[in-house]
Amino acid sequence: MQNILITGGAGFIGSHVVRLFVKTYPGSTIVNIDNLTYAGNLLNLKDVEQESNYRFIKGDIADRDQVFPLFEKYGFDTVLHLAAESHVDRSIANPMAFVHTNVLGTVNLLNATRHLWKGQYQGKRFYHVSTDEVYGSLGEEGLFTETTAYDPRSPYSASKASSDHFVRAYHHTYGLPVVISNCSNNYGPNQFPEKLIPLFINNIIHKKPLPVYGKGENVRDWLYVEEHAEALDLVLRKGKVGETYNIGGHNEWKNIDLVRLLCKIMDKKLGRAPGTSEGLVTYVRDRAGHDLRYAIDASKLQNELGWKPSLKFEEGLDKTADWYLSNEEWLRQVTSGDYLHYYREQYQDR
Ligand code: NAD
Ligand code: TYD
């Protein structure tokens, strides 16, 4: 890997991937294209921005006039595609933004890659980072495997499913050397405080209500973001062309149980009496079409490439809480401005 393009590198997972790659591959050039939506933040990459093997380009992945010249200039041999609109609630409010970035953006990148590589695929890789949400929703039993039929049920997951299909179609039709992974819910430092864990940490800090959707009985499978970044690096290097790998945390939590654990951790760290934060829990109107349960069978990745997560959830959550508490300036910056408008719109009638 000489010239690596990472898309969406200023976002939550992308920034951890950029950091890992800049440090792990000092002899490679790592180019990060990101158009810095509300979710993209260059503060996430402060510690790597001066590295000589790192470049940042502000650009829209769906814009042909920005993307094609970039591919010509750097001659990428590796594309690691993370840029996306990623929040289910926003997709319910505004599906078109998800079609633009997740579908059109992905196809534009595939076209640019095809145009640059011109059928010369030796040593080349297009890695598409996707989500377990494309598989739909599970009942109490069962796990998503790589052969589970797609059944996306939110505009977000429908747009990711569509992008996955295009990536596979470019492999089958044009022979493009692709690999895809579908991962479960990530958590950790630098996640925008619209997603469950950072939103609730921020609200606990400010003693604001904790809006639990429905009865809090939905289940998610949580993976620490740095472990996901390591898995992505492994799959990129060792994954077989044309294959899909599920990545998961073996770590299912009912939302309300997770929230109770988080409240306990935060009370301790903030020196508040036990039970203080749990008192902020407020049950609100459920998310439309709320998927009941996601859970990943990641045995293919373990058996073929020897990867499995190792960090205990309690420890990961503790580290995450510490990060937000010692980065209150980051939190303050990302929760000012447009965020306040989003928050009012999203939660006012619940
Ligand atoms: P994020 O929302 O934190 O970051 C997305 C980044 O993409 C932002 O920096 C944003 O500015 C950038 N971006 C958005 N539209 C763009 C465009 N048109 N052009 C260029 N850049 C654009 O998302 P995340 O949570 O870091 O997720 C990264 C990827 O991982 C996504 O593809 C997502 O579907 C996938 N994923 C996320 C999770 C999760 O739990 N967060 C789980 C599985 C898979
Ligand atoms: P989220 O972090 O948005 O991830 P996803 O919907 O992609 O799984 O939500 C995780 C779970 O938490 C999901 O079941 C919805 C729920 N949730 C709440 O109960 N309240 C909230 O304010 C948010 C943002 C999410």
**pLDDT over 90 (residue 308):** yes
Range of the domain at 73: 3-187+222-247
For residue 254, what pLDDT is reported? 98
Confidence class of residue 91 from pLDDT cuts 50, 70 and 90? very high
- 239 and 101 in a common domain: yes
Tens-place pLDDT, residues 100-155: 999 999 999 999 999 999 999 999 999 999 999 999 999 999 999 999 999 999 99
Catalytic residue among 77, 132, 226, 227: 132
Alpha-carbon distance values, 113 to 15, 117, 177 (Å) = 22, 6, 10
**pLDDT over 90 (residue 224):** yes
For residue 349, what pLDDT is reported? 81
133 is catalytic: yes
For residue 173, what pLDDT is reported? 98
In the predicted model, what is the mean pLDDT of residues 294-310? 97
- 239 and 110 in a common domain: yes
- 93 and 18 in a common domain: yes
Could you tell me which residues are beta bridge partners of residue 244? Answer: 180
Confidence class of residue 1 from pLDDT cuts 50, 70 and 90? confident
For residue 285, the ligand closest to its alpha carbon is 2
Q: What is the CATH number of the domain that holds 206?
A: 3.90.25.10
Confidence class of residue 345 from pLDDT cuts 50, 70 and 90? confident
339 is catalytic: no
> Is the pTM higher than 0.95?
yes
Structural contact between residues 220 and 252, judged by C-beta atoms closer than 8 angstroms: yes
**pLDDT over 90 (residue 177):** yes
For residue 82, what pLDDT is reported? 98
- 272 and 145 in a common domain: no
- 73 and 125 in a common domain: yes
**pLDDT over 90 (residue 350):** no
**pLDDT over 90 (residue 342):** no
- 173 and 54 in a common domain: yes
- 28 and 71 in a common domain: yes
Task: Confirm whether 302 is domain-assigned.
Answer: no
- 92 and 103 in a common domain: yes
Task: Confirm whether 168 is domain-assigned.
Answer: yes
Confidence class of residue 341 from pLDDT cuts 50, 70 and 90? confident
Catalytic residue among 54, 127, 156, 170: 156
Structural contact between residues 144 and 246, judged by C-beta atoms closer than 8 angstroms: yes
**pLDDT over 90 (residue 327):** yes
- Find the 30 Cα to ligand 1 centroid distance in Å: 18
Number of separate domains in the chain: 2
For residue 222, the ligand closest to its alpha carbon is 1
For residue 194, what pLDDT is reported? 97
Pocket of ligand 1 (CB under 6 A): 8, 10-14, 33-37, 39-40, 60-62, 82-86, 101, 105, 129, 131, 160, 183, 185-186, 192
For residue 252, what pLDDT is reported? 98
